[in-house]
Amino acid sequence: MIQVNVKLFASFRIGRFDREIREYPQATTVADVVKELGIPEGEIGILLLNSVHVDLKRQLVDKDVLAIFPLVGGG
């Protein structure tokens, strides 16, 4: 198993959590995490893995920090 620090933001927090250390089997992808959390893929705006943009196919490793945002903007 690997441990991943999952952080959710904005509307994705509603009914879920702000941040949690979660356990996953080896070879888990970002898409698997998103699915497990019940987040519709179409609503995802930004995925940051250890501060770098990634796509859903990326495999996770132990101690990764994954931040999941809906589409957001400002300025």
Residues that bind other proteins (CB under 8 A): 7, 9-11, 13, 18, 43, 45-46, 48, 51-53, 67, 69-75
For residue 16, the number of C-alpha atoms closer than 13 Å in the C-beta half-sphere is 19
For residue 61, the number of C-alpha atoms closer than 13 Å in the C-beta half-sphere is 1
Residue 52 CB, nearest approach to other proteins (Å): 7
Phi-psi region of 23 (alpha: psi -120 to 50; beta: other; left: phi over 0): beta
39 versus 67: smaller Cβ distance to other proteins: 67
Residue 25 CB, nearest approach to other proteins (Å): 25
19 versus 35: smaller Cβ distance to other proteins: 19
